[in-house]
Amino acid sequence: MDSMGEIFSLGKKAEIMRRTVQIIGISIGLFLLILVRRFETFLFYDPLLLFFQQNYFNHQDVPEFNTVKLFLSLFFRFVLNSILTLLIIQLWFNDKKITVISIYILIAGFIFFASLYFLSLFTNFGLGHMPTFYIRRILIQPILLLLLILAIYYYKQSKANFQKNL
């Protein structure tokens, strides 16, 4: 085999290895997100978990809760999900600028949604039961991961199409 063929072969092997590591890393990140969800009752303080699992939670008062403990638990869970989200985004797109922008989006998302969530809790579901339920889901589930991946993919496709048309 000539030297050019060897270089091509090594480059192809390196690309295959990089993609394999990428897929394994993303799979581990997704598995860890599943574990966070699986062990939520053990890992996090959330007196509203059982409340929202009931069929008729619309007709009940907010259960008593420790505000500081609930906030810290919610914050810890959001941070844990966010770290895994950022890991997956970095492995998927391999773009540090996009990962940094994702950090800012996640921080802004937490501030916005946590404020709405606690406002609703302190006003006895002033925003309504279902909006509070979905705001809570955004905070405790990696929903922002799905939205960010779709937005980043769309951005990259739009950018590529724009550059192609120049």
Single out the residue of 87, 80, 82 nearest to residue 28, CA to CA.
87
Mean pLDDT of the chain: 89
Quote the CA–CA distance of 56 and 99 in Å, as a whole number. Answer: 40
pLDDT at 6 over 80: no
Tokens of 99: 């990962």
Distances (CA, A) of 34 to 28, 40, 84, 152: 10, 10, 11, 23
pLDDT (0 to 100) of residue 128: 85
- The pTM (predicted TM-score) of the whole model is 0.85
- Sign of the CA dihedral 60, 40, 144, 109? positive
- Helices and strands: H and E segment counts in the chain: 7, 0
The phi and psi torsions of 148 (rounded to 5 degrees) equal -65, -45
Q: HEC profile for 17-65?
A: HHHHHHHHHHHHHHHHHHHHHHCHHHHCCCCHHHHHHCCCHHHCCCCCC
Contact 145, 85 (CB under 8 A): yes
pLDDT tens digits along 126-156? 888 889 989 999 999 999 999 999 999 999 9
Residue 22 pLDDT: 96
pLDDT of 12 higher than 90: no
pLDDT digit string, tens, across residues 69-120: 999 999 999 999 999 999 999 999 999 999 999 999 999 999 999 999 999 9
Name the residue ranges covered by the structural domains of the chain: 3-164
pLDDT (tens digit per residue) in 27-73 = 999 999 999 999 999 999 998 888 887 766 666 777 889 999 999 99
